Structure 1
Amino acid sequence: MNQKFRLTSLIPLVAVALLAGATWWLLQATLPRETQAPEHPKAHTPDYFADNFSITELDQSGATQYRLTATHMVHYEDNEYSDLTNPAVRAFQPGKPIVTATGRRGTVNADASIVDLFDEARILRAAGYGDPQMQADSEHFRVLVNDDVILTEKPVKLQRGQSVMTATAGMNYNNVTRVIQLHGNVRGAIAPADSGGSS
């Protein structure tokens, strides 16, 4: 009788021990193993390509606000940047001339908010709405899409109508206000017909 009592009193203890052992085993099975190698950092290698691609950003009414095109694009997995061949960024604003920024090559960040244009980079604002055509040439332009600003730290040549100006230390063009700021040593000639207007 005494032995029977001891065996029946051990059954709950054995059940709890089995339950604890099973819980420990499940925990060990789900934890990452120490012997597993850590994840390798992503390499700066292409993970996809595209030819003759186009990305369009629409405004709240559904009209085209920006369009980025290139003849070739290579995307890299580590920084999510893409290299572009013959890129062009076009800004469309109601009541304002179309602005196009181009280069022989360029880069764009992951969310397409910053586009860098290199090698014979050019900004061309079409004539219209009371303003003559404007063209700026440099070796580099950075397009800040969300701010509607184009800037460069390189020497730049600016033509507006018949007026021509050069700047040695860059330019900042705000497409919303249509204000141009030239930096460094600025030289040029302003034609009498172009002396009026905003920019």
Structure 2
Amino acid sequence: MTADRIRVWLGVALLGLVMLGSFWIYEVMRRQSEDEAANAKNRSEPDYYVEHFNFVRLSQSKQTNYRVTGEKLIHFPLEDEFEIIQPRIVGIDQEKTPMTIRADRAIVKQKVQEKLQNKPEDQIHMHGNVLVERSKSDQGSYLKMATDSLILFPDSERMRTAEAITMTTPRANITAIGMEAENNRQKIRLLSKVQISIAPPSAK
């Protein structure tokens, strides 16, 4: 075999090795990408669930306790969030005034910091046929509110929605777009398109 042919075969062999190396690197990268995608998918799937659960917690002010029940509680490890099917939340303050909140489902987000000056706190995002009912007490009359979605802040005893609401009291029917409420201060703020229909007082 001449020197020229040796050089040609060496060149072919080197080219083959380069091609094999490139193919191997491509396969390693492809498999790594597939593995990462599979792991990400697996992480976004629930890792455990609890059926027919019931637990109680206190607000940061220790003035209100909340009992949370539901048909199913599901934990998602990637987001570290909980989904509750058919949630029912009962809050009872120091004045023994119960408030019940129901919905089709809820997402519990833990320790969310909305603003830099605010402390991180838990949020409960209620979705679908949300109904809030507050019993009559020395602090106020019976109240019922319906909306499509509602965000609860149990630590600071607040709630808010940007959706349309319908609120009913013994003497008034109220509709509005958007609402903010502070349970510990017994304060409700209606944001826009407020309409109020007040029944006349009963004749004595």
Q: Whose Rg is larger? A: 1
Q: Which structure has more helix as a fraction of its residues?
A: 2
Paired residue type of 1:101: I
Paired residue type of 2:179: M
Question: How many residues get paired?
Answer: 156
Aligned residues of 2:64 and 2:94 also touching (Cα < 8 A):
no
Distance 1:140 1:79, change over 3 A: same
Aligned to 2:87: 87
Structure 2 Cα separation of the partners of residues 158 and 64 of structure 1: 23
Aligned residue runs from structure 1 range 141-160, under 5 A: 141-160=150-169
Aligned to 2:146: 137
Aligned residue runs from structure 1 range 36-115, under 5 A: 41=40, 43-58=43-58, 65-110=65-110, 113-115=122-124
Q: State the identity as a percent.
A: 19
TM-score of the superposition, structure 2-length normalised? 0.68
1:100 positional shift: 1.3
Over residues 170-191 of structure 1, what are the superposed CA-to-partner deviations in whole Å (9 max), with x where a residue is unaligned? Answer: 1112101111111111112123
Aligned to 1:127: 136
Q: Aligned to 1:128, what secondary structure does the other structure show?
A: coil
TM-score of the superposition, structure 1-length normalised? 0.70
1:162 positional shift: 2.3
1:99 positional shift: 1.1
Aligned residues of 2:59 and 2:155 also touching (Cα < 8 A):
no
Q: Which structure has more strand as a fraction of its residues?
A: 2
Residue 179 of structure 1: which of 163, 175, 187 is its match? Answer: 187
Aligned to 2:8: none
Structure 1 Cα separation of the partners of residues 50 and 189 of structure 2: 36
Aligned residues of 1:103 and 1:120 also touching (Cα < 8 A):
yes
Paired residue type of 2:43: A
Structure 2 Cα separation of the partners of residues 157 and 58 of structure 1: 28
Residue 116 of structure 1: which of 125, 129, 149 is its match? Answer: 125
Distance 1:130 1:76, change over 3 A: closer
Over residues 78-126 of structure 1, what are the superposed CA-to-partner deviations in whole Å (9 max), with x where a residue is unaligned? Answer: 0111111110122111115111111011111246821111111011101
Aligned to 1:170: 178
Q: Aligned to 1:46, what secondary structure does the other structure show?
A: coil
Aligned to 2:6: none
Distance 1:127 1:82, change over 3 A: same
